[in-house]
Amino acid sequence: MPKLFIVDDEPSFEEAIKPFFELKGFTVFTAQSGEEALPKIEIEKPDVILLDMHLKGKLDGLGILKEIKEKSLSAKIIMLTGMENDVKDEALKIGADKFLTKPVTVKVLYESVAEVLAQDK
């Protein structure tokens, strides 16, 4: 059972996305901020992380991305943002696997997750 970790402060992610992915056979964890997410990620070691660029707290998406990479966690990371793509290159450079611009449908989210999971194999 692949593990999916969603880091986004938008409550509808937990309400709506989580049930969907669970039906698809994922184990889903959520967190609303970087501070909350990082320790959990280290413990759970998810396969895919859905990471929003703008979060509460001190760390923003890029910061969290860096931290995850520094800890050499093996998760695939999909960045999610509502703004322009000018940090896209930076995110990809730091090591994000995919970069999506909101709004995206649940279907697209699912397909992206499947895509990055398939990358290693």
Q: Which residues bind other proteins (CB under 8 A)?
A: 10, 12-13, 15-17, 19-20, 23-24, 54, 56-57, 60, 82-84, 86-87, 101-107, 110
Least distance from C-beta 13 to other proteins, angstroms? 6
Element (H, E) at 102: none
d(CA 67, CA 4): 18
Name the 3-class secondary structure at 113. Answer: helix
Tokens for 58?
Answer: 């001190």
Q: Which is nearer to other proteins, 23 or 118 (CB)?
A: 23
Provide the 8-state DSSP code for 15: I
Q: What are phi and psi of 56, to 5 degrees?
A: -70, 165
Q: Which is nearer to other proteins, 92 or 104 (CB)?
A: 104
Q: Which is nearer to other proteins, 107 or 121 (CB)?
A: 107
Least distance from C-beta 66 to other proteins, angstroms? 14
